[in-house]
Amino acid sequence: MALLEVNDLAVSFVTRNGVNKAVDGISFSVESGKITAIIGESGSGKSVACYSMLGLIPMPPGRIDGGTAVFEGRDLLQLSESELRKVRGRDVAMIFQDPMTCLNPFMTVGKQLMEPLIYHHKVSQAEARERALELLDEVGIREPESTIDNFPHQFSGGMRQRVMIAMALINEPKLLIADEPTTALDVTIQAQILHLIANLQTKRDIGVIFISHDLAVVADIADEIVVMQQGRIVEAGDREGIFSNASHPYTQKLLAAIPSDSKTPMAETPEPLIQVRNLCTWFSQGGKQPVVKAVNDVSFDIRRGEVLGLVGESGSGKSTIGRSLLRLVPVTSGEVSFDGTDVTALHGNALKDMRRRMQMIFQDPFASLNPRMTVFDTLAEPLLLHGIENRKTVTAGVLKLMDDVGLARAFVRKYPHEFSGGQRQRIAIGRALATRPEFIVADEPVSALDVTIQAQILDLMQELGREYGLTMLFVSHDLAVVRHLADRILVLYKGELVEEGTGEQLFEHPQEEYTRSLLSAIPGRALLA
């Protein structure tokens, strides 16, 4: 018999604007000793389904409309709050997405770790501490004795997620629900955490529900995969079945959205448009604190018409390089020459004119548009500023941009908050293109978007890149995306260049240790290659 048997579960949220069916009659089961992945984009109801079984959604506005969730012979949905509490944290444990916010900042890690053990099993402090130390050691925290009494802010993100995992396992639960446990982490850390979860699961032979928006992430660890869309399960099956012959078009779309090919590099090698020499961008933190060398002695060329990928983990300085080229952060030393002109020395009208020729697409489409300006105003601003259109022709110019980026003309008088993330990113792309730039820095332009939307935006960028004859610096943490898009790739580590090459060179014959570790961390390589 399955460990958890969910049948026809339906959950809705009652708001002033009506009833939103977040989970619309789903059924699935979780076996002991297996990892069941629930895959879906934001708003698909994947988290709500799991949280509602444990009574962790606020009610109201949440409401369970029906169904059963039988766990070890008992229907969780019928349990009283106090009975459910005995299940939570003892038989069913959870880990969450953002380890930075999921631990109580006012309590030592040790206390938080011991809390479920003491509460559910009434063990003594000393016993609980002993057990906590063992677990910290097991999840890979070095020297647990000296760190157990630290506060969460003294741990890195990856370490905090390890603590969360230890906390979830301290009562030896039978079912572990992991809600996007690696989404907030860097690729290499993600690989470690995935590995850890899979190991612990095998060792303890427990059931795991792994919630994720990313099929690739679960490709290596899931036994069963459930695909959700808009509150319904569209497809379910074992891993091989889903990856090799998915039948539902949505699953196929999700699979297709995972970039797995390598762009064929440009045949010819045109002369460089941008030459970066010994670029240093350092930030002083004020006072006596050491200077942060975000970018340190970096040199490279960007050839006319190519897409140069810039890859690195958080803190590698990749975004700072992009911003340094555009003079959005002050450069400490070095030279950035654009078409023969040293950008770092420009000011006044010369700088303004240079800004017209190079533009940026930002990561977060929710932050990169002025919330108080309509699409029209946002797109008209650069057109008028640089005299590309005059007052009479600006409307036509704006509408042309909207056509180019695939936005309906009817939206022209709407405000950013009335659009989805993908649509906003289209507006932001339109704004960047408005000045008819020759060069664009795209800073993680799709990492805030759902997987299927990512693919659309990447396609759009490629298409427009050709149409406008753009040279592009594509900054990303995602090697697979960069390989798909870039002619050449630079690998960055702690502010310095590590390796450079075409996608194929890097993937097939990485020269440096760091590049190899990045590559091996890409989730689902084996299945997707």
Site residues (CB under 8 A) for other proteins, limited to 104-163: 104-107, 112, 115-116, 119-120, 151, 153-154
Residues 160-179 that bind other proteins (CB under 8 A): 164, 167
Which one, of 14, 15, 23, lies nearest residue 67 by Cα? 23
Q: Total residues at the site for other proteins (CB under 8 A)?
A: 72
Shortest spacing between CB 118 and other proteins, in angstroms: 10
Q: For other proteins, what does the binding mask look like between residues 379 and 398, x meaning CB under 8 A? A: --xx--xx--------xx--
E-strand stretches of 231-354: 232-238, 272-283, 292-303, 307-311, 333-338, 341-342
Torsional sign, CA 135, 137, 143, 147 = negative
CB nearer to other proteins: give 115 or 339. 115
Applying the rule CB under 8 A, the residues between 62 and 81 that interact with other proteins are none
Phi/psi at 274 (nearest 5 deg)? -125, 130
Binding other proteins (rule: CB under 8 A), the pick from 203, 314, 330, 417 is 417
Residues between 259 and 298 that touch other proteins (CB under 8 A): none
Q: Which residues, 6 or more positions from 494, have their beta carbon under 8 angstroms from its beta carbon?
A: 315, 316, 317
Q: Which of 102, 227, 234, 321 binds other proteins (CB under 8 A)?
A: 102
Say how far residue 447 (Cα) sits from the centre of its chain.
5
Q: Which residues of 444-487 form beta strands (DSSP E)?
A: 471-476
CB of 139 to other proteins, least distance (A): 16
From the CB of 428, what's the least distance to other proteins, in Å? 7
Nearer to other proteins, 153 or 509 (CB): 153
Q: Tell which one of 412, 433, 442, 451 touches other proteins (CB under 8 A).
A: 412
Is the dihedral angle over the CA atoms 352, 357, 363, 367 positive or is it negative?
positive
Distances (CA, A) of 387 to 343, 348, 393, 468, 522: 22, 17, 11, 19, 45
Q: Which CB sits closer to other proteins, 57 or 219?
A: 57
CB 250, min distance to other proteins, A: 29
Query: What are 211's two structure tokens?
Result: 């919630």
Tokens describing residue 206 = 């427990």
Q: Could you tell me if 418 and 365 are in contact, meaning their C-beta atoms sit under 8 angstroms apart?
A: no
49 binding other proteins? (CB under 8 A) = no
Pick the closer one to other proteins by CB: 147 or 262: 147
| Nearest-5° Cα angle at 266, 463 to 338 | 80
Query: Regarding beta strands 272-283 and 92-95, do their DSSP bridges make them parallel or antiparallel, or are they unpaired?
Result: unpaired
Q: 363 or 454: whose CB is closer to other proteins?
A: 363
Q: Can you state the angle between helices 375-385 and 421-434, rounded to 10 degrees?
A: 10
Least distance in angstroms from the C-beta of 101 to other proteins:
4
Among 54, 139, 185, 401, binds other proteins (CB under 8 A): 54
Which residue shows structure tokens 């879906």?
40
Site for other proteins in 294-353 (CB under 8 A): 323, 326, 328, 351-353
352-371 residues in contact with other proteins (CB under 8 A) are 352-353, 355-356, 358-360, 362-364, 367-371
The one among 5, 20, 27, 56 contacting other proteins by CB under 8 A: 56
Nearest-approach distance from CB 528 to other proteins, in angstroms: 31
Looking at residues 79 to 98 of the shown chain, list those that interact with other proteins (rule: CB under 8 A): 82, 85-90, 93-94, 96, 98
Backbone φ/ψ region at 404: left (φ over 0), alpha (ψ -120 to 50), beta: alpha
Q: Residue 99: how many CB atoms within 10 A of its CB?
A: 26
Q: Which is nearer to other proteins, 403 or 508 (by Cβ)?
A: 403
Do β-strands 224-229 and 207-212 pair in parallel, antiparallel, or remain unpaired? unpaired
Nearest partner of 365 among 454, 433, 466, judged by Cα: 454
Beta strands in 307-417 (DSSP E): 307-311, 333-338, 341-342, 358-361
- Measured from the CB atom, the residue of 81 and 268 that comes closer to other proteins is 81
15-24 long-range contacts (CB < 8 A, ≥24 apart) are 15/61, 21/65, 21/231, 22/48, 22/62, 22/231, 23/48, 23/49, 23/52, 23/231, 24/230, 24/231, 24/232
**Of 382 and 510, which CB lies nearer to other proteins in the complex structure?**
382
CB atoms within 10 A of CB 5: 17
Q: How near is the Cβ of 10 to other proteins at its closest, in Å?
A: 22
Half-sphere exposure in the Cβ direction for 502 (13 Å, CA): 12
CB nearer to other proteins: give 196 or 375: 375
Q: Which is nearer to other proteins, 156 or 511 (CB)?
A: 156
- Residue placing its CB nearer to other proteins in the complex, 291 or 385: 385
Instruction: Single out the residue of 122, 142, 347, 372 in contact with other proteins (rule: CB under 8 A).
Output: 372
Q: Would you say 291 or 328 has its CB closer to other proteins?
A: 328
**Least distance between other proteins and beta carbon 208 (Å):** 15
- Give residue for tokens 């106090």: 82
**39 vs 95, beta carbon nearer other proteins:** 95
In angstroms, give the least distance from the CB of 153 to other proteins.
Answer: 5
Residue 23: beta bridge partners? Answer: 11
CB of 240 to other proteins, least distance (A): 32
Among the listed ranges 62-70, 373-381, 499-507, 509-517, the one in contact with other proteins (CB under 8 A) is: 373-381
Cβ atoms of 360 and 432 closer than 8 Å: yes
Least separation in angstroms between residue 521's CB and other proteins is 25
Among 303, 318, 431, 488, binds other proteins (CB under 8 A): 431
Minimum CB distance to other proteins smaller for 340 or for 387 = 387
